[in-house]
Structure 1
Amino acid sequence: MYKAVTHGIEITVEPFYIEEQSDPDENRYVFGYRVTIVNNSNGTVQLRSRYWQITDANGRVEEVRGEGVVGEQPILEPGDSFQYTSGCPLKTPSGVMVGRYQMLGMGNDIFEVDIPAFSLDLPEQRRTLN
């Protein structure tokens, strides 16, 4: 698991490989990631938008921006949490993602929260001894 805390907002990411959606023969590797957002601050916040930078093993960079996450813009009271799962296809068997959320706080102040960098890697293959 990967974790970052910014302005009292804790972001935890747990990446995983989705074998059934992947096709290594076609250079298609699909990874999922589960994000948990916890509001440890003293005020109510709303997640407004996201920004991702995705880098594959060849150094190819893709940027993704959008409103909310998985079609939602959750409002978190102090102590609340929100969890969602999403995915990312790559053309290589590994990569790195990093990003940030734009949050709206009390008094309509807008601030950014770091999403920790995390690696996307194939699980270790079992080795068979002869």
Structure 2
Amino acid sequence: MVEQVTKGIKISVISRFEGTLINKQRECYTFSYTITIENQSENTVQLLTRYWKIKDALNPPETVKGEGVIGVKPVLPPGKKHTYSSGCLLTSPIGSMEGYYTLIDLDAKTRFRVPVPVFKLHAAFALN
């Protein structure tokens, strides 16, 4: 697990190798990750957008941008958490992800970014 706190927002990430599958006639490695966003600040915040940089050992990095996470823009009062799971496909058994969330402090009406720390995507058999 990796964790990081920025501006009172704690991000925790757990990633897992799920197996392989054939996609467009080539083997892909599937990974899942579970992220918990915890508001440790004194103000209510809402997650607005996400940005990901996905690194695959065999390809150039890919970026993904979008609104919310898994179709929602969670509102987090002080002390509350939001947990969600998602996944990605890589052509290599080794990679990583990192990025950030854009949130708004609903009390102060200010936007800010919270980095998501780098987390590894790797299949155990690929590591010595």
Fold conserved between structures, TM > 0.5: yes
Amino acid at match of 1:84: Y
Q: Say whether residues 1:65 and 2:86 are aligned partners.
A: no
Give the deviation of 1:60 after TM superposition. 1.4
Amino acid at match of 1:36: T
Paired with 2:57 and 2:125, the residues of 1 have a C-alpha distance of 17
Alignment match, 2:113 = 112
Identity, % of aligned pairs? 40
Paired with 1:45 and 1:73, the residues of 2 have a C-alpha distance of 10
Structure 1 segments, 4+ long, off by >2 Å, are 21-27
Which runs of 5 or more residues in structure 2 are unaligned? none
Using structure 2 for the length normalisation, give the TM-score.
Answer: 0.91
Alignment match, 1:128 = none
More strand by share: 2
SS of the aligned residue for 1:11 comes to: strand
Alignment match, 1:22 = 21
SS of the aligned residue for 1:22 comes to: strand
Amino acid at match of 2:49: S
Using structure 1 for the length normalisation, give the TM-score.
Answer: 0.89
Aligned residues: 124
Give the deviation of 1:84 after TM superposition. 0.1
Give the deviation of 1:23 after TM superposition. 4.3
